[in-house]
């Protein structure tokens, strides 16, 4: 299991479109992937779960992945969340 804390650097935070992109990215991996923020942990492959977090730019989240491709999953999501990768 790998977990890494990071800050959301997307211009509009995690609104509907960025959440959809994040869920698509998470779904490319076989690992179980979760996003944790403010004591709430949701499946990163669930659009409804991710929307329920209501995350904004500047907030801290922890990405948790467990499985064969966990390292690649965390790195890919970190690149997206930190604003280093375009939609």
Which residues sit opposite 22 in a β-bridge? none
15-to-12, 19, 53, 67 alpha-carbon distances in Å:
7, 6, 10, 27
CA 55, CA 51: separation in Å to the nearest integer?
8
Instruction: Determine the average pLDDT of the residues in 62-76.
Output: 98
Instruction: Determine the average pLDDT of the residues in 59-67.
Output: 97
Give the pLDDT score at 81. Answer: 93
At residue 64's C-alpha, the angle toward residues 79 and 86, to 5°, is: 20
Domain boundaries, the chain: 2-81
Is the pLDDT confidence value at 85 over 80?
Answer: no
Is the pLDDT confidence value at 86 over 60?
Answer: no
> Which numeric CATH code is attached to 2-81?
3.30.1340.10
């Amino acid at each position: 299991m790998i977990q890494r804390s990071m800050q959301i650097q997307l211009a509009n935070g995690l609104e509907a479109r960025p959440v959809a992109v994040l869920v698509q990215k998470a779904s490319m991996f076989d690992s179980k992937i979760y996003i944790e923020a403010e004591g709430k942990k949701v499946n990163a492959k669930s659009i409804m779960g991710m929307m329920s977090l209501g995350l904004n730019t500047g907030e801290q989240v922890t990405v948790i992945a467990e499985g064969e491709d966990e390292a690649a999953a965390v790195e890919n999501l970190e690149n997206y969340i930190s604003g280093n990768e375009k939609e």
